């Protein structure tokens, strides 16, 4: 008997029969996250219901040196929750209680399996809400949001997950409980709370989160602007921010995304536009009216051919419905799509979108662009058919070129989806050997045995050296210092 078998037997002694899945068909629903291009059936799936059971699972796996991969709702888009054939995938979906809504202090204490939108639904009775709102907010869990540092439509003004989390309680790889942060605005010591946000399950098992709640603004209205040229829409984004106006949300969609969304949910978008901008402004009635006039003037000066302002809450939600339905709407274009997630300086939006259009032509694959324009956070959706030989590989190569383009213009390979297994090679382009060594040192400090979600997010230097050898540019490696490894 090997350590994995011994581990499985030990888990069977502390978990109810229905909380430990070992049959192949029972485990298949857990073989991938939302990035279904990567699949792996785990050796076992644990479904704990109590904190004691979670602690027991972690300690048993540590004693047998079996990897543990924590999973939330499985909506991630970078393979961050991809299981291992020799590991235990632990689902935290049953930890779905909202422990407390403290309206006076404007905080909520929640378990990791609580859906993002459920926090705002619970806080609505107090006139409060939770600001970060990923497109998958009706399904994604708050624990996964912390692990990936999720964003959303309204993060331009109100920040990413890291800006809205006050405290996190975690279980370490050794089975110890730690509380990072505080319910107060700040806490002493190193900012380990920020390190946990975006750590992709590699540093600890997130078991409880305290988040900020904000008062619902009295008024929120959306300005929809249609543009004949993508470059004009891109320039408009920079123009709005340069004017000192920070919208609650500033999103952009190109022609392919507009038409797909309109076919899918009839949001009222102008189908003949080459790009649209959705700009939401919130605050007091006078403040919103003043900013709407200013933004519409900026839109017009940059070549906006049509501008519409939502006049009712129903119309505002309908405008956003099309944007948030853009991902599933891609199913009308092709059987599969590959969603990228790079972030660039806003000034480079037009150049990068133009290059993406050229790459789309070169690879013969349609690319729809729908993204957080105010943040410069791109989400190119590469349409392909996995049943056609070579199309998945072509989509992956095209996606890699887009990410490398983001790095070239001073951006980054992710804005909110994380690295997972999808972007390990591009991490070698973005970071130097000393920088990667610091990442590994942090991992070692939290998880010296390397059992929590191994093989994700941070590539080894050896892997980067191999990637560099295959990715020579102008006769030189992207990072010459890697040559010695």
Dump pLDDT digits (tens) for 141-162: 999 999 999 999 999 999 999 9
Residue 241 within a domain: yes
Does residue 269 sit in helix, strand or coil? coil
Domain of 273, CATH number, reads 3.30.70.2190
211 shares a domain with 103: yes
**pTM across the whole model:** 0.93
What is the maximum span of the chain, computed from C-alpha positions, in angstroms? 73
82 pLDDT tier (thresholds 50, 70, 90): very high
Residue 131 within a domain: yes
pLDDT at 331 over 70: yes
Residue 434 within a domain: yes
187 pLDDT tier (thresholds 50, 70, 90): confident
Here the tokens at position 457 are: 């997010």
36 pLDDT tier (thresholds 50, 70, 90): confident
Residue 463 within a domain: yes
Q: What is the pLDDT of residue 185?
A: 84
Summarize the confidence of residues 332-339 as an average pLDDT: 90
> What is the Cβ-side half-sphere exposure of residue 477, based on CA atoms within 13 angstroms?
18
233 shares a domain with 209: no
Question: In sequence order, what DSSP letters do the residues of 172-238 get, joined into one string?
Answer: -TTS-EEEEE-SSS--SSS-HHHHHTT-TTSS-EEEEEEEE-EEPPSEEEEEEEEES-HHHHHHHHH
Residue 15 within a domain: yes
Least confident of 12-21, 179-188, 306-315, 350-359: 179-188
Question: In sequence order, what DSSP letters do the residues of 237-258 get, joined into one string?
Answer: HHHHHHTT---SEEEEEEHHHH
Structure-model confidence comparison of residues 330 and 69, the more confident one: 69
Displacement of CA 25 from its chain's centroid (Å): 28
Summarize the confidence of residues 258-262 as an average pLDDT: 95
151 shares a domain with 110: yes
Residue 360 within a domain: no
Q: pLDDT tens for residues 189-216?
A: 999 999 999 999 999 999 999 999 999 9
pLDDT at 480 over 50: no
Domain boundary among 91, 122, 145: 91
Q: What is the pLDDT of residue 215?
A: 98
Summarize the confidence of residues 80-99 as an average pLDDT: 97
Q: What is the pLDDT of residue 479?
A: 38
Residue 232 within a domain: yes
Domain boundary among 285, 312, 328: 328
87 shares a domain with 102: no
Considering its fold, how many domains does the chain have in total? 4
Structure-model confidence comparison of residues 260 and 475, the more confident one: 260
145 shares a domain with 74: no
pLDDT at 472 over 60: no
203 shares a domain with 106: yes
Residue 44 within a domain: yes
Q: pLDDT tens for residues 408-445?
A: 999 999 999 999 999 999 999 999 999 999 999 999 99
149 shares a domain with 242: no
140 shares a domain with 162: yes
Provide the domain limits for residue 439. Answer: 424-484
102 pLDDT tier (thresholds 50, 70, 90): very high
Tokens 């990667």 map to which residue? 436
What is the chain's mean pLDDT, rounded? 94
Domain of 166, CATH number, reads 3.30.465.10
Summarize the confidence of residues 296-316 as an average pLDDT: 97
464 shares a domain with 445: yes
């Amino acid at each position: 008997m090997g350590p994995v078998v011994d581990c499985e037997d030990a888990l069977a002694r502390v978990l109810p029969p229905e909380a430990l899945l070992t049959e192949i068909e029972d485990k298949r629903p857990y073989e991938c996250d939302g990035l279904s291009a990567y699949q792996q059936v785990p050796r076992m799936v644990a479904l704990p219901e109590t904190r004691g059971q979670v602690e027991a699972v972690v300690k048993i796996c540590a004693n047998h040196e079996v990897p543990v991969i924590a999973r939330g709702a499985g909506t991630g888009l970078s393979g961050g929750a991809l299981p291992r054939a020799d590991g235990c995938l632990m689902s935290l979906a049953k930890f779905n209680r909202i422990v407390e809504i403290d309206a006076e202090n404007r905080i909520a204490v929640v378990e990791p399996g609580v859906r993002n939108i459920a926090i705002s639904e619970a806080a609505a009775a107090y006139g409060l809400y939770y600001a970060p709102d990923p497109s998958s907010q009706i399904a994604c869990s708050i624990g996964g949001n912390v692990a990936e540092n999720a964003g959303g439509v309204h993060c331009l003004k109100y920040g990413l997950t890291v800006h809205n989390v006050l405290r996190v309680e975690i279980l370490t790889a050794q089975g110890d409980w730690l509380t990072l942060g505080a319910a107060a605005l700040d806490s002493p010591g190193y900012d380990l709370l920020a390190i946990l946000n975006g750590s992709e399950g590699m540093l600890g098992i997130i078991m409880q989160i305290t988040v900020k709640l904000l008062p619902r603004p009295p008024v929120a209205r959306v300005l929809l602007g249609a543009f004949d040229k993508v470059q004009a829409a891109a320039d408009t984004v920079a123009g709005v921010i340069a004017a000192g106006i920070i919208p609650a949300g500033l999103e952009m969609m190109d022609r392919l995304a507009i038409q797909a969304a309109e076919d899918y949910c009839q949001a009222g978008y102008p189908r003949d536009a080459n790009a649209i901008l959705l700009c939401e402004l919130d605050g007091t009635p006078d403040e919103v009216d003043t900013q709407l006039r200013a933004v519409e003037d900026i839109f017009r000066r940059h070549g906006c051919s049509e501008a519409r302002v939502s006049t009712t809450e129903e119309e505002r939600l309908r405008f956003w419905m099309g944007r948030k339905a853009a991902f599933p709407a891609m199913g009308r274009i092709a059987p599969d799509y590959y969603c990228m997630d790079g972030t660039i300086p806003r000034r480079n939006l037009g150049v990068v979108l133009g290059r993406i259009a050229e790459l789309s032509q070169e690879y013969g694959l349609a690319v729809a662009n729908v993204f957080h324009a105010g943040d410069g956070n791109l989400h190119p959706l590469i349409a392909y058919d996995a049943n056609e030989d070579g199309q998945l590989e072509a989509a992956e190569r095209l996606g890699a070129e887009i990410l490398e383009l983001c790095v070239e213009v001073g951006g980054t390979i992710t804005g909110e989806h994380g690295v997972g297994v999808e972007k390990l090679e591009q991490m070698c382009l973005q970071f130097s050997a000393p920088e990667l060594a610091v990442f590994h040192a942090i991992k070692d400090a939290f998880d010296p045995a390397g059992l929590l979600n191994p093989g994700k997010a941070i590539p080894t230097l050896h892997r980067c050296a191999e990637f560099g050898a295959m990715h020579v540019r102008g006769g030189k490696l992207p990072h010459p210092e890697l040559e010695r490894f």
